[in-house]
Amino acid sequence: METLSGAQDIITEASTRWDRIIDFVQSYGPRVITALLLLVIGRWLIGYAQRLIDRSFRKAKMDVSMRKFLESLISIALKIGLIIAIAGFLGFKSTSLIAILGAAGLAVGLALQWSLSNLASGIMILTFKPYKVGDFIEVQGRKGTVTNINIFNTEMISAEHKTIITPNSVITSDTIINYDKIGNIRVDVTVGISYSADLQQAKKVLQTVVEANTHTLDTPVPGVFVSELADSSVNLIVRGFCAPGDYRPTYFSLTEEVKLALDAANIEIPFPQRVVHMTK
């Protein structure tokens, strides 16, 4: 009898639980399904809104870095708003949810102070624009072309095709050299000629070289200048200007052309010599 009574109790408890499950599904099932539909529709609407925003930013010819940054922030804000709206539909109090999100945000913020510093520096970079995507810059002794300005870091490609990723807070706390800000960069090639050589002839030869170089610009006007009367040579600076991205090709080609032109004109490029007198 006790066994039969125990079995009946188990069946009764299982039946009660099943009834509760059915009641829960009947009460909240339609609301949950509706919430899922709202989630799908909301995601689609957010995607559509992002495309419209991107299109309007492009028509306004907004800076690429600023456009990506704003689109990222807008996307995050819209998704958070969608989550709050669905939670409210399911019966959660919006004020309580916002308070929970705020507390979580504070905790995450304290744990990620370094990241927040990079975020603030990223906003400063995008606002004051010390450089932009495509600029050739130097930071902490590293040179490269900016390929992307993210919220937390800046990416560059060096002349050796190495990817350089630098935290934004490091960049804003250091000196930034922007070679693209003016639009051109100066190239100096120093060469020494013998004291016995014809200085005016050498200057004419080198002037022809720098003007004929395929990378140098017509403005500012290139030139050749005497820089130093050294111990064994008269040093000249062959100076031209080029686009920042052409610096290395210009320097290399100009150096080679200077040597070949002086050789063709029989103008000596002296090298250090030491005379040793031996006595008994």
Which domains are delineated in the chain? 7-111 (1.10.287.1260), 130-178 (2.30.30.60), 185-264 (3.30.70.100)
Check residue 222 and give its pLDDT.
Answer: 95
- Computed over every residue of the chain, the mean pLDDT equals 81
CA 247 to chain centre: 21
The answer to whether 257 and 209 are in contact (CB under 8 A) is: yes
Give the model confidence (pLDDT) of 14-65 as tens digits. Answer: 666 666 666 655 666 677 777 788 888 888 888 888 888 888 878 877 767 6
Is residue 211 classed as helix, strand or coil in its secondary structure? helix
Give the model confidence (pLDDT) of 124-170 as tens digits. Answer: 888 888 888 888 899 988 989 998 888 788 999 988 889 999 999 89
Prediction pTM value: 0.55
Neighbour-count burial for 239-248, b at 16+ CB within 10 Å, e otherwise? bbbbbbbbbe
Give the type of residue at 169: S
Query: 220: cis peptide before it, omega within 30°?
Result: yes
185-193/234-242 β-pairing:
antiparallel
